[in-house]
Amino acid sequence: MVRLPYVTALTTLFSYGLLFAFGQLRDFFRRILDARKPSNLKGYAPICLGLEDFYTRRLYLRIQDCFGRPIASAPDAWFDVVERYSNDCNKTLHRTAKTSKCLNLGSYNYLGFAAADEYCTPRVIESLKKYSASTCSVRVDGGNTKLHTELEELVARFVGKPAAVLFGMGYVTNSAIIPALIGKGGLIISDSLNHNSIVNGARGSGATVRVFQHNNPAHLEEVLREQIAGGQPRTHRAWKKIIVIVEGIYSMEGELCKLPEVISVCKKYKVAVVTVAFPATPLLLARARICISASHSREDLIKGLEVISKVGDLVGIKYFPVEQEKTAVVEKQKKIQ
């Protein structure tokens, strides 16, 4: 596990501590000054209590010009960011006519379709005209189209499974499916660094949630033993169901899960394992399929295949069964000769 350098941690904590102290001091003087002013809000419940909005008022306000920045172009890999200025300590920000060309490092545009594409854009516009941007309803209530069905069938064939369920986004997938897998009387044992969508899904399930140390199968076994021996809270009855939730690749850390060891522990105690993957298609310890747009030239395809081949060798996910068969046939012919 990567540890933060001592000096970096110390200076960061000191900076936050200094901002927190000055913020508290300003709040103290603000309360003194406001106490002398007449208030028309007596009898009303406060919108925020305690430190709920302290970060927004005293910390975020100083740096809000770094966030929520408007752009003046399509959100491609490179885009034009509008420059802004403030005359009242960042309370209000005013746009200028100047723009800066910036590299986009914070986008969900995984496939590069946010900007104009010669192949995809015309087809997207045609689909929007035919099917509209949204069904304005959930799928079980008249919101299902043939596109949903076709895509689910395509995904099922792609991953080699009998069926697939399509969700609009990964966050909803976890927060919606986990309550369907387990409920009250069940036990969820979750990795301490699981994604927030998993945390919300576990909370919404009604099951008891316990946490084990990040990527630590030994501590997972300790937690399992303790919870199986203790049973449900108050009644101490046996758990109706126990599941362990981990991520195949931890999306916030980029770290691989020790899945074989986790599965070994869970098999020992007859516990189900739910592995969440971001993206959902498993690339490591499985197989990878690459889709290249038909709009590319032959030279682009050849170059792309060369790069994919090198990456496959480096990562260890290269799998060409046809080539292996050809190699075996060639070797047999050489031996015969």
**Residues 6 or more apart whose Cβ sits within 8 Å of residue 99:** 72, 80, 81, 82, 83
DSSP per residue, 249-303: EETTTTEEP-HHHHHHHHHHTT-EEEEE-SSSS-TTTT-------TTS-HHHHHH
pLDDT of residue 81: 94
**In 3-state terms, what secondary structure has residue 93?**
coil
Q: What is the pLDDT of residue 2?
A: 62
Structure tokens that stand for 324 in this block: 């292996």
Cα four-point dihedral sign 59, 63, 65, 67: negative
pTM here is 0.59
For residue 300, the model assigns a pLDDT of 64
- Block residue for tokens 């909803």: 172
**CA 197/CA 178 separation, integer angstroms:** 10
Q: Give domain 170-276's CATH number out of 1.10.10.10, 3.40.1550.10, 3.30.1330.60, 3.40.640.10.
A: 3.40.640.10
Give the domain ranges of the chain.
1-39+47-67, 69-115, 125-135+142-166, 170-276, 298-336
Q: Are 186 and 244 in contact (CB under 8 A)?
A: no
Instruction: List all residues 6 or more positions away from 33 whose beta carbon is below 8 Å from its beta carbon.
Output: none
What local confidence, expressed as pLDDT, does residue 231 receive?
93
Judged by DSSP in three states, 188 sits in strand
Q: Tell me, what's the pLDDT at 91?
A: 85
pLDDT at 327: 47
Query: In this predicted structure, what is the pLDDT of residue 332?
Result: 56
> Which element (helix H / strand E) includes 98?
strand 94-103
Residues of the chain with pLDDT under 70: 1-2, 110, 277-301, 304-305, 308, 311-337
Q: Report pLDDT for 316.
A: 57
